[in-house]
Amino acid sequence: MALYALAQSKAFAAGVIYYQSLFPDPEDLKTISSPLLCHYGTDDAGTTKSEIDMFRHTLDQYKKKYQIEMYEGAGHAFLNNPNSKHAANREAAEKSVAKTAKWLRKALA
């Protein structure tokens, strides 16, 4: 949802994306003007590495400012349950929140 909002509005100074799937039409990413921080788990069956690679390629093609963070062993929705028994998801949640706070302080300064 955040990626869609960033593509449809110039009201945002920055965007943080968690395990977002690529739009059906990559052309929709052309209108994004804000820098992006994107978080993905390497074990997310819903957002595959090839999809992330296509996303990265499209952002590069449109010369977008972005940072992609990958979390080894984390699955989809790792932030939704930070107290998960799944160690990789817990670690990804902790690391991604810390990285997001640091990144937003810099991006919005």
Per-residue pLDDT of 31-75, as tens digits, reads 999 999 999 999 999 899 999 999 999 999 999 999 999 999 999
User: What is the count of structural domains for the chain?
Assistant: 1
Q: Is residue 52 included in any domain, yes or no?
A: yes
Q: Which domain holds residue 72?
A: 42-109
Q: Is residue 8 included in any domain, yes or no?
A: no
**What average pLDDT does this structure show over 7-16?**
94
Q: Quick one: which of 57, 64, 60 has its CA closest to 31?
A: 64
Which pLDDT band holds residue 22 (cuts at 50, 70, 90)?
low
Q: Is residue 47 included in any domain, yes or no?
A: yes
Q: Is residue 24 within 8 Å of 7, Cβ to Cβ?
A: no
* Amino acid found at 23: F
The pTM is what? 0.92
Q: What is the mean pLDDT of the chain?
A: 92
Nearest-angstrom CA–CA distance, 4 and 73: 27
Q: Is residue 98 included in any domain, yes or no?
A: yes
User: In Å, what is the CA distance from 81 to each residue of 9, 21, 24, 70, 89?
Assistant: 30, 19, 28, 18, 8
Q: Is residue 26 included in any domain, yes or no?
A: no
Q: Is residue 54 included in any domain, yes or no?
A: yes
Give the model's pLDDT for residue 96: 97
